Amino acid sequence: MDEMSGWVMAEYRSICLLDDPPADLDVTSAEDVDDYLPPPDAPDGFDLLTAAPGVVAVSTGVMRGRVHLTVHVLDSEPRELAEGDWETVEELGFRALSAYTHAAAGNYYPFAATSPGMFERSVTPAGAGFYRVRAHELNRGKNLGEHRDDNDPPTEERFLLQVWPTTTEDEDRRRLVGRDPTLLL
């Protein structure tokens, strides 16, 4: 398991995983994630995750502010849910466009790694293809709609994303924890 963790700035009520190949890499024949931005809204019954080719968006409660994000890059599907008192856990499949999918802010701009191991590695090291992501959240409803500046204290929001490759496309959404979607509009 590869783990990346730290405080990140949510923008426009979201954080995301975004295909972001290096600028010097020739990807002229590849699809561009810009063709799929912004990703579609989540369907009824789901409110934490949505995806399109090359991007997975995670809805935060805070409009703008620091939230804690941990990403686990796994070799295969976890057998059990991650330990913790998670309020919501959702899972869905997505198609990576390259081996360069990184954590990003809701304005679809990759986070700058401020310390070794903090979101500098790709969550799709196996390259283009099919993956699943399982998102866990805690305290998303505590700061609904707030706007915090860079120097303001972080929120209490916590997110864990687990990502693993699959051999087939599986866009099936699953809500594993949580009764009804919270109203975050």
> What are 24-58's pLDDT values in tens digits?
766 555 677 877 777 778 777 788 999 999 999 99
With cut-offs at 50, 70 and 90, classify the pLDDT of residue 185.
Answer: very low
pLDDT in tens, 83-132: 999 999 999 999 999 999 999 988 888 776 666 668 888 999 899 999 99
Which pLDDT value is given to residue 105? 87
- Measure the CA–CA gap between 161 and 111, rounded to whole angstroms: 15
Name the β-bridge partners of 91: 134, 174
Contact between 73 and 121 under an 8 Å Cβ cutoff? The reply is yes
Residue found by looking up tokens 């856990």 in the block: 89
Sketch out the chain's domains with CATH numbers. 2-176 (2.60.34.30)
Contact between 48 and 92 under an 8 Å Cβ cutoff? The reply is no
Tokens of 5: 């963790």
Which pLDDT value is given to residue 76? 95
pLDDT in tens, 67-85: 999 999 999 999 999 999 9
- Give the distance from CA 20 to its chain's centroid: 14
Query: What is the reported pTM?
Result: 0.90
Residue found by looking up tokens 């283009």 in the block: 128
